[in-house]
Amino acid sequence: MATVTLKGNPISTSGNLPAQGTQAPDFRLTKADLTDVSLSDFRGKVKILNIVPSLDTGVCAASARRFNKEAASLGDVVILTISRDLPFAQKRFCEAEGIDKVITLSELRDRSFGSAYGAEITTGPMAGLLSRAIVVLDRNDRVVYTEQVPEIAQEPAYEEALQAARKAL
């Protein structure tokens, strides 16, 4: 269990992010078009998992926008923004913000991602949502970088995540 804060108040997650060097857990998540995908659908690509509580918050929206902006310079890297938002809300957000290089994924049908990645918030007012975290996977789905953002209201360390993704190419 990791402890993070929400505006300075401690909250807990369901576990810890996968350790660097380990094989990433598989997942089943739902895209905006309501099709389900798993980790194997992105086989052979470097992956940035941008895990967020909800795209309806300013910081989550900012991270999706930032990664969308950076995506063009990353080459064979796919950026997956993962939340418990409904796919309809994710799609509406992307259309309104002009986000077209980030793939949004929802835990609509299968809620095991948060537990498998240790990112489900278990206490406090945001219990049931996902924490703010970044996990970078290499082409073979090995974890090469993680960041459990210590304060939910702050943005992740973009440059470190982007550098890890570039290095994994």
The pair of three-digit structure tokens given for residue 28, joined into one six-digit string? 């089943």
Q: How confident is the model at residue 66 (pLDDT cuts 50, 70, 90)?
A: very high
Q: Which of 60, 64, 133, 143 is catalytic?
A: 60
* pLDDT beyond 90 at 61: yes
Listed residue (127, 75, 135, 128) closest to 101, CA to CA: 75
- Above pLDDT 70, what percent of the chain? 100
What is the per-residue pLDDT for 72? 83
| Length of the chain counted residue by residue | 169
CA distances from 128 to 11, 43, 57, 83 (A): 12, 29, 16, 11
State the pairing for strand pair 36-38/46-51: unpaired
CA distance 54 to 85: 6
What is the per-residue pLDDT for 33? 96
Task: State yes or no: is 60 an active-site residue.
Answer: yes
pLDDT digit string, tens, across residues 125-169: 999 999 999 999 999 999 999 999 999 999 999 999 999 999 999
| pLDDT, average across residues 68-97 | 96
Give the angle 33-52-46 at the CA atoms, nearest 5°.
70
Mean pLDDT of the chain: 97
C-beta neighbour count of 26 within 10 angstroms: 12
Q: How confident is the model at residue 115 (pLDDT cuts 50, 70, 90)?
A: very high
CA distance 37 to 147: 23
Listed residue (145, 88, 120, 117) closest to 13, CA to CA: 120
The pair of three-digit structure tokens given for residue 64, joined into one six-digit string? 């999706």
- Above pLDDT 90, what percent of the chain? 98
Domain ranges of the chain: 3-168
* pLDDT beyond 90 at 35: yes
Q: What CATH architecture does domain 3-168 belong to?
A: 3-Layer(aba) Sandwich (3.40)
What's the pTM? 0.97
Per-residue DSSP letters for 39-71?
GGGGTTSEEEEEE-S-TTSHHHHHHHHHHHHHH
* pLDDT beyond 90 at 1: no
Provide the CA 169 distance to its chain's centre, in angstroms. 19
| pLDDT, average across residues 110-134 | 97
